[in-house]
């Protein structure tokens, strides 16, 4: 069985963060391990409190996993601070495995999730990544991304910009664009009118990591993962009073 590591924050509501990552890994038949960077007290209505894990303990978690398992891929999510980013860089810089970096620092609605001084440090991780998966807000901040005039030349790795909404044949589509080697490839699914979108970015990036671990090429891993999230939203359990989680089990069955 392939082993995948998620380095990310914990979500007490179970819909995002390492909880979503581990559910996604299991859905794809890979074994999930974790290194927690941040503890959050949150539910579907929002985040109430955040407690950071010390950088030394983040490193200790990663070290413990590396000493016991042959990793097939790594997913990196919420890192929160410059110190944690530097600790993670120290632990991954000599590894030779696919790394999916979800640069979690601006939410879908534009709320900041990373300390201001840590954004520059985040960019230092790009050279280790197989792909990075920013949303539209994050891509704008990182690369001055403009969907009407984008090439993303000079970025150290492929970039998957998530969730541009386009109209096609009178239907709204959710379109993600992969910029790789000077070319762009798009991946689309119908836009769903749903509030069950909590943890979609986490689940998407961890699904890509799981499929890379299983030997899929990057484009195939993205296409499979895009459909996984679409089906997960389509069959979401409709729980909680806010932005609910997706259905990770149903996502893979469909």
pLDDT value of residue 234:
95
Instruction: Say whether 115 sits in a helix, a strand or coil.
Output: coil
Give percent of the chain above pLDDT 90.
Answer: 73
Backbone angles phi, psi at 245, to 5 degrees: -80, 165
Q: What is the pLDDT of residues 21-54, one digit of tens each?
A: 999 999 999 999 999 999 999 999 988 888 999 9
Question: Rounded to an integer, what distance in angstroms lies between the CA atom of residue 68 and that of residue 242?
Answer: 39
3-147+196-253 in CATH: which number? 3.40.1190.20
Residues 102-152 have pLDDT tens digits of 998 765 544 566 777 777 888 899 999 999 999 888 888 888 888 776 677
pLDDT for residue 244 is more than 60: yes
Write down the pLDDT at residue 160.
96
200: tokens are 């979609």
Locus of tokens 């230092």:
124
pTM: 0.95
Nearest to 187 by CA among 198, 179, 199: 179
Domain ranges of the chain: 3-147+196-253
CA angle 72, 73, 77 (to 5 degrees): 155
Q: What is the pLDDT of residue 109?
A: 46
């Amino acid at each position: 069985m392939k082993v995948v590591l998620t380095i990310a924050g914990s979500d007490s509501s179970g819909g995002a963060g390492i909880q979503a990552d581990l559910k996604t890994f299991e859905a794809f038949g890979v074994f999930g391990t974790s290194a927690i960077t941040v503890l959050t007290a949150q539910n579907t209505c929002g985040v109430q409190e955040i407690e950071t894990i010390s950088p030394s303990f983040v490193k200790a978690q990663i070290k413990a996993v590396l000493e016991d398992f042959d990793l097939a891929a790594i997913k990196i999510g919420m890192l929160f601070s410059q110190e944690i980013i530097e600790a993670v860089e120290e632990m991954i810089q000599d590894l030779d495995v696919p790394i999916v970096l979800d640069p979690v620092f601006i939410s879908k609605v534009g709320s900041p999730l990373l300390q201001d001084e840590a954004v520059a440090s985040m960019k230092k991780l790009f050279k280790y990544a197989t792909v990075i998966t920013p949303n539209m807000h994050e891509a704008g901040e990182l690369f001055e991304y403009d969907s009407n005039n984008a090439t993303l030349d000079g970025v150290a790795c492929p970039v998957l910009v998530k969730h541009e909404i386009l109209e096609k044949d009178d239907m709204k589509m959710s379109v993600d664009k992969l910029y790789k080697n000077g070319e762009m490839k798009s991946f689309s699914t119908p836009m769903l009118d749903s509030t069950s979108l909590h943890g979609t970015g986490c689940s998407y990036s961890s699904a890509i990591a799981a499929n890379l671990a299983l030997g899929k090429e990057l484009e195939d891993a993205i296409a499979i993962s895009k459909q996984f999230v679409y089906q997960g939203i389509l069959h979401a359990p409709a729980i909680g009073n806010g932005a609910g989680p997706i259905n990770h089990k149903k996502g893979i069955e469909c």
